[in-house]
Homo-oligomer: A and B are copies of this chain.
Amino acid sequence: MKLLEERILRDGKIGEGNVLKVDGFVNHQIDTDFICMLGQEFYRLYRDSGVTKILTIEASGIGIACLTAQYFHVPVVFAKKTKTNNIYADVYTSRVESYTHGTSYDVVVSKEFLLPGDRVLIIDDFLAKGSALLGLIRLIEDAGASVVGAGIVIEKAYQNGGKLVRDMGIRVESLARIAAMDGQGIRFVTEPAGG
């Protein structure tokens, strides 16, 4: 999505450890008018997929998921992060590794909010190694619901998460796919993602 690529080039910052920071419009401050346009694009891509629910993960996915869900007229469910091992009867749980922070955590969703008949679209801000996305997919599968696909704002295509999930036969639509990021700046993938 041209508009997003231009915005990343303009307002994205490369921080320590070659981390892309988009706090100014996606993550900490949310440019709602802009994110609404991304939401409309996710709607265009998945409008014919019979989506009944959008699943995301706290905290930075919530705004994007809500501003997208309004076009589908479906609810958002956000998975909660917890440091403790939650093996409660009333939640689905899966483990997620955070490579950025060198830690891991559980994500949990109440069983009452993911149902066997649900067709779930996953929305998140970033896709890199895919650990969070795989965790969300497991929650949906545990509920006996269907994964319609994933809508990602920024994919780091030089990491293997996108390939991993596409190879499982799951549709992944990323609005910007970064091919490389270094001292020379940010370069985007121009060809479409396989799968």
Contacts and interface: CB of A to CB of B under 8 A. Distances in A.
22 contacts: A24-B113, A25-B75, A28-B78, A28-B113, A29-B76, A29-B110, A30-B69, A30-B78, A32-B70, A32-B74, A32-B75, A35-B66, A36-B70, A58-B59, A59-B59, A59-B78, A62-B63, A62-B66, A63-B78, A66-B66, A66-B67, A67-B70
Contacts of A58: 58-59
**Complex copy number for this chain:** 2
B66 A30 contact: yes
A59 B65 CA distance: 13
Interface residues of A, number: 31
Contacts of A63: 62-63, 65-66, 76, 78
A63 B28 CA distance: 13
Interface of A: 23-25, 28-33, 35-36, 58-59, 62-63, 65-67, 69-70, 73-78, 80, 109-110, 112-113
Interface centre among A33, A62, A69, A76 (most CB of B within 10 A): A62
A124 to B, nearest CB: 14
